[in-house]
């Protein structure tokens, strides 16, 4: 059963202000489905059309909801998100100029971009996926291993390696890979199925029922050609190991080309608040320790998550920070180009980082403050 996260754009008030022709162009291909939900798309231009009913249908799906409609609404959610880093006015000026009519509102333009430039909408959806909060594990390219070009054939070979594993592990053989060229290397968005889920639902008559569906899982793999580092998401050690061998085989000539790296450290925190000192005039203007998980010599694990964390540590035991093992920390960053703070969680034991770390300024800050290294340090057992 598909699910729809209601786009900001498709709310009753916004729908009512849109041009009927725009809505008809978006929804008419699914007119039969809307009739089963007691909404007539053919009557959109009539003065008494019920936009609240249309908004409710768009927000709540059934088994019959067309998958194409779900995908369109997801893409439309990105295009209409004023908080995303995407700006069609500046990045795709020619397309906006060609599609926009004098009486178009922002919502009308967003729908036109989706319908008439779907490749761009999908490209930007995948690019924004790279910026989502997720846990990333780091692999390093072993010395002497080549860096091969990314081509349609190499992407297909990657798919042929991954798809059988997904199928054998009850995730279906579906595997869709999108490649994006980044300023410092390459990025891949890997869309595949997850294991089947069963959820309880109520039918139209209020009777309890259940449905089985397969959620979509989205993983990313980022390769920095300057440092030879891959940062890869993926739930579980087996899937991460699959990505390590597959990426190594396809893009570096050997499934053993990549090794787990020891990139992250929390040791700077032992210096106290000075470890997080920032330059107010730089991109990373402020950093605050939001939580710290540590292990005391007796083996007990403690978590400090009330601000100010350093003061709480000092109050509990003045020597705790120096003697305990530092397991996990969450740091909040204030960036000059963002309103909201960015949370980053560092786990040295698993050598993973979780959060929106795609901004180069954060990675640079981590390296400069010794929470991350750019040296080629590989785990011997890899």
Quick one: 118 and 143 in the same domain?
A: no
In this structure, is residue 374 part of a structural domain? no
Residues 6+ apart with CB under 8 A from 318: none
Quick one: 250 and 299 in the same domain?
A: no
Q: What's residue 204's pLDDT?
A: 61
Quick one: 152 and 103 in the same domain?
A: no
User: Last residue of some domain: 260, 295, 310?
Assistant: 260
In this structure, is residue 379 part of a structural domain? no
Query: How far is C-alpha 117 from the geometric centre of its chain's CA atoms?
Result: 22
Quick one: 81 and 138 in the same domain?
A: no
Q: What's residue 375's pLDDT?
A: 59
pLDDT in tens, 113-151: 888 887 777 666 666 665 655 677 888 899 899 999 999
Name residue 78's beta-bridge partners.
none
Quick one: 145 and 117 in the same domain?
A: no
Quick one: 125 and 141 in the same domain?
A: no
Mean pLDDT of the chain: 81
In this structure, is residue 251 part of a structural domain? yes
pLDDT average, residue stretch 41-50 = 87
- Number of domains the chain is built from: 3
Range of the domain at 174: 134-260
Quick one: 33 and 105 in the same domain?
A: yes
Quick one: 347 and 316 in the same domain?
A: yes
Question: Between residues 18 and 379, which one has the greater pLDDT?
Answer: 18
Band the pLDDT of 269: cuts 50, 70, 90: very high
pLDDT in tens, 203-255: 666 777 777 777 778 898 989 888 888 989 888 888 989 999 999 999 999 99
Quick one: 244 and 144 in the same domain?
A: yes
Quick one: 192 and 232 in the same domain?
A: yes
Quick one: 189 and 220 in the same domain?
A: yes
Helix axes 152-168, 237-252, angle to 10 degrees: 160
User: Last residue of some domain: 260, 287, 308?
Assistant: 260
Q: What's residue 86's pLDDT?
A: 46
Question: Between residues 161 and 204, which one has the greater pLDDT?
Answer: 161
Quick one: 124 and 21 in the same domain?
A: yes
Rg of the chain over CA atoms, in angstroms?
Answer: 24
Band the pLDDT of 153: cuts 50, 70, 90: very high
Q: What's residue 66's pLDDT?
A: 81
Q: What's residue 5's pLDDT?
A: 41
- Lowest-confidence segment of 72-81, 168-177, 223-232, 282-291 by average pLDDT: 72-81
Q: What is the pTM of this model?
A: 0.57
In this structure, is residue 229 part of a structural domain? yes
What is the percentage of the chain residues whose pLDDT exceeds 70? 83
In this structure, is residue 233 part of a structural domain? yes
In this structure, is residue 1 part of a structural domain? no
In this structure, is residue 5 part of a structural domain? no
Question: Between residues 5 and 199, which one has the greater pLDDT?
Answer: 199
User: Last residue of some domain: 260, 282, 304?
Assistant: 260
């Amino acid at each position: 059963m598909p699910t729809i996260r209601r786009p900001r754009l498709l709310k009753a008030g916004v729908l009512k202000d849109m041009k009927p022709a725009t809505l008809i162009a978006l929804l008419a291909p699914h007119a039969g489905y809307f009739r089963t939900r007691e909404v007539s798309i053919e009557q959109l231009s009539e003065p008494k059309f019920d936009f609240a009913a249309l908004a409710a249908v768009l927000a709540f799906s059934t088994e019959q909801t067309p998958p194409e409609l779900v995908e369109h609404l997801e893409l439309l959610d990105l295009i209409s998100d004023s908080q995303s880093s995407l700006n069609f006015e500046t990045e795709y000026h020619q397309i906006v100029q060609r599609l926009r009519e004098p009486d178009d509102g922002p919502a009308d333009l967003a729908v036109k971009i989706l319908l008439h430039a779907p490749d761009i909408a999908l490209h930007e959806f995948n690019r924004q996926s790279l910026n989502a909060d997720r846990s990333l594990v780091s692999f390093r390219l072993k010395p002497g291993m080549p860096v091969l070009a990314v081509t349609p054939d190499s992407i297909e070979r990657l798919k042929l390696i991954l798809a059988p594993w997904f199928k054998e592990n009850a995730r279906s053989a579906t595997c869709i890979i999108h490649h994006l060229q980044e300023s410092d290397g390459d990025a891949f968005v890997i869309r595949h199925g997850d294991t089947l889920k069963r959820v309880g639902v109520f039918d139209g008559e209020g009777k309890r029922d259940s449905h089985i569906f397969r959620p979509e899982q989205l993983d990313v793999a980022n390769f920095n050609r300057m440092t030879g580092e891959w940062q890869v998401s993926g739930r579980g050690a087996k899937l991460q190991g699959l990505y390590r061998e597959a990426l190594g085989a396809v893009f570096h000539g050997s499934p053993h080309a990549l090794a787990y790296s020891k990139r992250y450290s929390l040791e700077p925190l032992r210096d106290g608040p000075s470890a997080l000192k920032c330059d107010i005039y730089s991109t990373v203007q402020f950093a605050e320790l939001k939580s710290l998980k540590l292990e005391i010599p007796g083996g007990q694990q403690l978590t400090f998550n009330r601000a100010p964390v350093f003061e709480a540590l000092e109050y509990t035991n003045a020597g705790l920070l120096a003697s305990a093992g530092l397991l996990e920390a969450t740091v909040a960053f204030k960036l000059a180009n963002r309103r909201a703070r960015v949370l980053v969680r560092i786990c040295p034991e698993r050598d993973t980082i979780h959060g929106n770390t795609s901004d180069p300024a954060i990675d640079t800050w981590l390296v400069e403050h010794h929470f991350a290294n750019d040296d080629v340090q590989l785990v011997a057992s890899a």
